[in-house]
Amino acid sequence: MLFLIVFLFVFVYFLWQFSQLDHDLEILWALKFGKSISTFKGKVIWITGASSGIGEHLAYVLATTGAKLILSGRNESKLKEVAAQCVSIGNYDETNVMVLSFDIIDRQCHQKMFDKVLHHFNRLDILVNNAGRAQRAWFAEIDSEIDHQLFEVNVFGLINLTRIVLKYFLEHNPNGQFGVTSSTAGIIGSPFVSSYAASKHALHGYFESLRNELGRKGIGITLFCVGPTFSNILYNAFTGKPGEIARQIQPRTSNRMTTDRCAYLMACALANKIDQAWIARHPILLTHYVSQYMPQLFRKIAPKYFSERMIRQLRDLN
């Protein structure tokens, strides 16, 4: 009887602890017993999509460690503001932060941009593929041109840059790393964002295949499966019509993780070379576990659970 009481107490305690998490159990272990993000000190890290949102705040987190940064995106003036903030946070010389403005879909310039990185820092240790755009629309209302445009940004441009950097890692830095900003939509068939979800699923296909190709070569790949986070990503999101922009302003609500918290968890996952990092609050985090470990059950309950009204409540219009 005493054993049963103790077991129930421990079970309830761990259940309560799990309900408080905004990340998976592997990140929890890394936070308590793993490597500190201070391991990034002196590392050369390239972040795409660094002018705002998660990429911007990841730059700030990494600046606290003394990492050397390359910040890329389309908005050069905003990148310079982020760079100045990083210099202030890191309390180091301006030459430790490089601004490299370009559009990720311009694949012809990727090699040139990478050559500039090597010319400035003489090496690269980590590429964080964070550039991307969101999308909101019903499946039946999406013009096929949106699919093409979204994949150009979220997949093809990113993969092209990765291949260029990969060749360098294989020849000159066998301990190099890739960080890839995916989404909960990358592992769950999220409704009302089908084109976006497809692009994130594609990233998983590419990078999980690459992981298996690399075998034990030492090059790390971390996929960040991020849930609802407060950022401006929806303001420039695609809809279902070419040329139309969502221009949604996200409310600051309890259902969203702050960008600085998300960025810190991403940095922790990257420092500990976690293969796939789930970063989300409940109930989104719980759906990750159910879909992963009880897929048949998930497929039965998901169509009833994922009504448009429910999804909007979970995302707070995300």
What tokens were used for 316? 């707070």
Orientation angle between helical segments 53-63 and 259-271, nearest 10 degrees: 60
Supply the DSSP symbol for 154.
I
Q: What are the beta bridge partners of residue 177? A: 126, 220
Contact between residue 259 and residue 228 where contact means Cβ atoms under 8 Å apart: no
Give backbone dihedrals phi and psi of 189, rounded to 5 degrees, phi first.
-75, 80
100 in helix, strand or coil? Answer: strand
Residue 110 to residue 93: CA distance in whole angstroms:
26
The Cα 272–Cα 274 span in angstroms is: 6
Q: CA 67 to CA 61: how far, in whole Å?
A: 9
CB 242 within 8 A of CB 229: no
Nearest residue to 316 via CA among 233, 252, 239: 252
Is residue 231 within 8 A of residue 133, CB to CB? The reply is: no
- Catalytic residue status for 13: no
Which candidate in 196, 235, 293, 305 is catalytic?
A: 196
Catalytic positions, written as ranges: 196
